């Protein structure tokens, strides 16, 4: 179904249920859909599993969601940053579960989910603690580890511009996980800086085709 | 004299082939960019989705949508391109990057690297793209001091810290010597302020004398 244009971020995130797995775009703050995360905090869903490259910066956005105690588990590659004190405190207190995933496996596991791939063998992490307990296989003389898809119930993505059908373009390195997460969730919710009419985006320049997008809100 | 961080970075930059696609890890390796000669044609890759990453912007011109892997502001160059995270790591794992330069806690004689986690019980583990880079780039260079603050060597027989990658390091640049790690063992390429014998005495790994030992520093 073509995308629904929402008037408010609150309306856009009302689909998130308790216990949901939520994919949240961004690399640090670049590409982080802050308005959607703020709306999710207001909306109140809890017991969430959040998949995001980092585990929040400062006291806003994802960090604020964590601080409210809404997140049971973080799946990420790089939680420890100079300003990740909210996550750090929860982790040290044993109040949040962490699944640490090498960044390329994190991206590829979501890509696999979005592409209908049941699992894949990755060379990343072989022989390290992050591959412990996982199936390995030697292929053409190299060892690989089996990685399973990560599917989201909802993806929250920050893009630069959308048309009213849901086609997306991003801006510079704020693109990062957005296009992959948009494919990997049952419902993809996108915040954009600008909403334009259908036909105004150059079809050659569309990064995320509208088929992956369910809800759009301009903020 | 042992080498400063910038002198080490200059040595690494000297060894990066013209026109290479290169990823510089967070921390000391980023200094290598300052020492690439003008016209080197080296293209810098950043894991968060950009090729031909430029230097830091002028004061007041930072763009929050344009950052490097360390989340610091950077700039575009003519020839820059953007791509999403899955493509960015496909470039690594797929063997398309010519060189990556990584920092490390320890490197083993067999080319294992440990650089993501000290294993301390209260440490918060964070790996980012280190494991993908270590096994993906065609040549993996490490830049580190050879001895920890307590004097223990960081080039070791077997890493005691949790591994980042197995058998993947090709060359180690340190403040007192540069090493090639290959099928024959650890070859000392050059030394800085230490003789080969002094170096062999302070390390617990067998060394082989390279062709260009000693820079006269």
pLDDT of residue B111: 98
Nearest to A183 by CA among A111, A119, A118, A123: A111
Judging contacts by C-beta atoms under 8 Å, the chain B residues touching residue A207 are 84
pLDDT at B13 over 90: yes
pLDDT at A181 over 50: yes
Q: Which residues neighbour A23 within 8 Å (Cβ) at sequence distance 6 or greater? A: A50, A51, A52, A110, A150, A152, A154, A155, A156, A177, A181, A184, A185
pLDDT tens-digit map of B145-192:
999 999 999 999 999 999 999 999 999 999 999 999 999 999 999 999
pLDDT at A62 over 70: yes
Nearest to A114 by CA among A51, A171, A65: A51
Q: How confident is the model at residue B211 (pLDDT cuts 50, 70, 90)?
A: low
pLDDT of residue B215: 44
Q: How confident is the model at residue B55 (pLDDT cuts 50, 70, 90)?
A: very high
Kindly list the distances between the CA atom of residue A15 and the CA atoms of A5, A9, B23, B86, in Å, as whole numbers in the listed order. Answer: 14, 11, 40, 26
**Domain extents in chain B:** 5-57+64-209
pLDDT at B217 over 60: no
For chain B, the first-to-last Cα distance in angstroms comes to: 6
Contact (CB<8Å) B65/A77: no
Q: How confident is the model at residue A3 (pLDDT cuts 50, 70, 90)?
A: very high
Catalytic residue among B47, B61, B158, B190: B47
Tokens of A13: 């995130």
Judging contacts by C-beta atoms under 8 Å, the chain A residues touching residue B86 are 104, 107-108, 110-111, 179-180
Shortest CB distance from B132 goes to which of A100, A104, A171? A104
Shortest CB distance from A78 goes to which of B65, B127, B132? B127
Pick the CATH number of B5-57+64-209 from 3.40.718.10, 3.40.1080.10, 2.30.42.10, 3.90.550.10: 3.40.1080.10
Judging contacts by C-beta atoms under 8 Å, the chain B residues touching residue A100 are 125-127
Distance CA B123, CA A80 (A): 9
Share of chain A above pLDDT 90, in %: 98
Distance CA B95, CA B21 (A): 11
Distance CA A87, CA A67 (A): 8
Interhelix angle B85-93/A103-115, nearest 10 degrees: 110
The arithmetic mean of pLDDT across residues A41-59, rounded, is 97
Share of chain A above pLDDT 70, in %: 100
pLDDT of residue B212: 54
pLDDT of residue B100: 98
pLDDT of residue B210: 86
Q: Which residues of B touch A (CB under 8 A)?
A: 46-50, 63-68, 71, 76, 82-86, 88-90, 92-93, 112, 117, 122, 124-132, 135-136, 162-166
The arithmetic mean of pLDDT across residues A125-134, rounded, is 97
Judging contacts by C-beta atoms under 8 Å, the chain B residues touching residue A175 are 49, 82-84
pLDDT tens-digit map of B101-115:
999 999 999 999 999
The arithmetic mean of pLDDT across residues B83-90, rounded, is 98
Contact (CB<8Å) B126/A128: no
Pick the CATH number of A4-218 from 3.40.1080.10, 3.40.50.720, 3.40.50.9100, 3.40.50.20: 3.40.1080.10
Q: Please, what is the average pLDDT of chain B?
A: 94
Among chain B residues, the shortest Cα distance to A174 is held by: B65
pLDDT tens-digit map of A34-45:
999 999 999 999
Q: Which residues neighbour B104 within 8 Å (Cβ) at sequence distance 6 or greater? A: B113, B114, B115, B142, B144, B154, B164, B169, B172
- Interior angle at CA B152, CA B147 and CA B155, nearest 5: 60
Distance CA A151, CA B41 (A): 40
pLDDT at A148 over 80: yes
């Amino acid at each position: 179904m073509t995308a629904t244009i929402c008037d408010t971020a609150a309306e856009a995130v009302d689909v998130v249920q308790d216990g949901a797995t939520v994919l949240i775009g961004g690399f640090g703050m670049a590409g982080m859909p802050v308005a959607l995360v703020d709306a999710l905090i207001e909306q109140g869903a809890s017991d969430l599993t959040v998949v995001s490259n980092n585990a929040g910066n400062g006291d806003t956005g994802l960090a604020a969601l964590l601080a409210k105690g809404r997140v049971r588990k973080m799946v990420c590659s790089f939680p420890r940053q100079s300003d990740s004190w909210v996550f750090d405190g929860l982790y040290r207190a044993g109040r949040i579960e962490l699944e640490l995933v090498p960044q390329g496996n994190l991206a590829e596991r979501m890509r696999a989910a979005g592409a209908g791939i049941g699992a894949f063998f990755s060379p990343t992490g072989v022989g390290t603690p992050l591959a412990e307990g996982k199936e390995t296989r030697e292929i053409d003389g190299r060892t690989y580890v089996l990685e399973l898809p990560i599917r989201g119930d909802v993806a929250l993505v920050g893009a630069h511009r959308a048309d009213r059908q849901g086609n997306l373009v991003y801006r510079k390195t704020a693109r990062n996980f957005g296009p992959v997460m948009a494919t990997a969730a049952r419902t993809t919710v996108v915040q954009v800086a600008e909403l334009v009419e259908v036909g105004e985006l150059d079809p050659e320049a569309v990064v995320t085709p509208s088929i992956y997008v369910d809800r759009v809100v301009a903020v | 004299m042992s080498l400063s961080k910038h002198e080490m970075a200059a040595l690494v930059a000297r060894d990066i082939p013209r026109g290479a696609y290169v990823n510089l890890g967070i921390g000391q390796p980023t200094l290598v960019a300052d020492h690439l000669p003008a016209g080197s044609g080296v293209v810098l890759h950043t894991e968060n989705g950009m090729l031909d990453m430029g230097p830091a912007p002028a004061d007041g011109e930072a763009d929050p949508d344009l950052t490097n892997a360390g989340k610091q502001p950077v700039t575009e160059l003519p020839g820059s391109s953007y791509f999403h995270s899955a493509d960015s790591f496909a470039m690594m794992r797929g063997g398309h990057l010519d060189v990556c330069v990584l920092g490390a806690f320890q490197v083993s004689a067999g080319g294992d690297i440990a650089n993501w986690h000290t294993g301390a019980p209260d440490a918060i583990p964070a790996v980012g793209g280190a494991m993908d880079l270590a096994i993906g780039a065609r040549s993996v260079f490490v830049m580190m001091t050879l001895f920890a603050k307590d004097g223990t060597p960081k080039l070791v027989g077997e890493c005691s810290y949790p591994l980042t990658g197995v058998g993947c390091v090709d060359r180690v640049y340190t403040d007192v010597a540069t090493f090639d790690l290959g099928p024959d063992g650890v070859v000392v390429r050059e030394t800085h302020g230490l003789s080969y014998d002094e170096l062999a005495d302070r390390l617990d790994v067998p060394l082989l004398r390279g062709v260009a030992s000693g820079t006269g520093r």
